Amino acid sequence: MSTHTSELQYHSRHGTIAMLVSLTCFTGNALLLKVLSSSRHVDPWMSLAFRAVLGLLVTVVLFAPAGSLELRRSFQSWLLASRGILGAIGTAAYYVTIGPLGAGKATLIGNTWTVFAAIMAAFVLHERLGLVKLGGILLALFGLGLLTGMAPGTLTQFGQYEIIALVGAVLAAAVVVVIRQLTRTETSATIFASQCVYGVLLAVPIAWMNFTSLNWTDVALLSAAAMCATFGQLAMTEGFRYLSVAAGGAFQVTVPVIITICSISLFAETFTTPQVIGSILVLWGSFQTVVGGRTRKTAA
């Protein structure tokens, strides 16, 4: 066996393990948020505050000693500030909607960031939209209409939480476009920390104003959800360093699938027939948009 073949196998195995860790962490985060919101009646802003604070602490511990983290850049660079502010608000939209919409539906709507990111990148970064991507975008948008009730005859109400979730997906897409520009000048640690910094500035004051009480179980669940989100993000970034866009995208598209299945089985989340069809179209369209016919490796 050649050295090159062994290296490829190592990269594939390393990337697969990282993506599986990411999938597990993101699923755990979503389900814990649902429990905190619906069963424990914990304010979602408190969940976001824990995520931002613990995420920042983990990033500092892991990356500051190596010199790859520059927190001051979060306030010195307008692109980093934009990434932080948009990311904090977009994440807040997901956290606010996961209770009333359900973990499955909120995640499926949020997953459409891939579609909006492709559209934005075409205009802002002048990235080419091929036929595969364009077809994926159209499929996902049609599926989104069925899932949220925007399409006529779906028997689904398009309410305030659907709007919030959709706004969150658009903001997440804007964040991706900004990150694509930031990777030219900033480290991954600094980019990730910028969201944590602005997440702290956004969520902590609101959580403090709405604070009632927390017991030790609440604190444990909040901490677990925050750590799942943090290590899920870090593991996903690591996975994309070693896997192709197609392989990495396939793993990430399965995240809303697993979350939806778990939400249906654990929390009795219901989907109408049009919503089921819409969910499938959203997932397939999102995957085609992410892959877009590309198979080469890329660094995240």
List pLDDT tens digits, range 54-78: 999 999 999 999 888 999 999 999 9
pLDDT score recorded for residue 35? 95
In a domain, residue 274? The reply is yes
Flag whether 58 is in a domain. yes
Number of domains the chain contains: 1
Percent of the chain residues topping a pLDDT of 90:
53
Q: How confident is the model at residue 288, as a pLDDT?
A: 86
Whether 300 maps to a domain, the answer reads no
In a domain, 299, yes or no: no
Is residue 35 in some structural domain? yes
More confident site: 266 or 151: 266
Q: Between 178 and 53, where is the model more confident? A: 53
Q: In the structure, what pLDDT confidence band is assigned to residue 11 with cuts at 50, 70 and 90?
A: low
Average pLDDT taken over every residue of the chain: 87
Is it the case that residue 243 has pLDDT exceeding 90?
no
Average pLDDT over residues 125-135: 84
**What is the rounded average pLDDT of the residues 194-213?**
94
Residues spanned by the domain of 206: 3-291
For residue 298, what pLDDT is reported?
A: 38
267 Cβ partners below 8 Å, 6+ apart? 34, 38, 102, 103
Structure confidence at residue 246 as a pLDDT band (50, 70, 90): low
Instruction: Pick the range with the lowest mean pLDDT from 16-25, 214-223, 246-255.
Output: 246-255
On whether residue 191 sits in a domain, the answer given is: yes
Q: What are phi and psi of 46, to 5 degrees?
A: -70, -40
Could you tell me if residue 179 is inside a domain? yes
Is residue 297, in this structure, part of any structural domain at all? no
C-alpha angle 255-252-114 in degrees, rounded to nearest 5? 110
Residue 130 has pLDDT above 90, yes or no: no
